[in-house]
Amino acid sequence: MEAWAALVRVIERGYDDIDEYIIDLYCRNWLNEAWLLLDEHIVQMWTPQIKALDDRYKAATVDDDGQALRQFLH
């Protein structure tokens, strides 16, 4: 969760290294995978913080369904 929070802070200031950005986005994917393994109480406890970070990420980025990043994925 700290990696996601740190990435959101960086994105809000302006991210200028696309390769690092793509690598750093995997921390959010990891949270999705971890959610399936966690106890329901833990999920309920952390969901508001994750949602708040997701909302900040969405506000700081433009949703184009991954079109801009596709050209950089190998």
Q: What would the two tokens of residue 57 be?
A: 């990420």
What is the pTM for the complete model shown? 0.83
Q: What would the two tokens of residue 10 be?
A: 């960086």
Residue 14 region, left (φ>0) first, then alpha (ψ -120 to 50), else beta? left
**Chain centre distance of CA 5:** 8
Q: Higher confidence at residue 65 or residue 55?
A: 55
Q: List, for residues 27-53, the tens digit of each pLDDT value.
A: 999 999 999 999 999 999 999 999 999
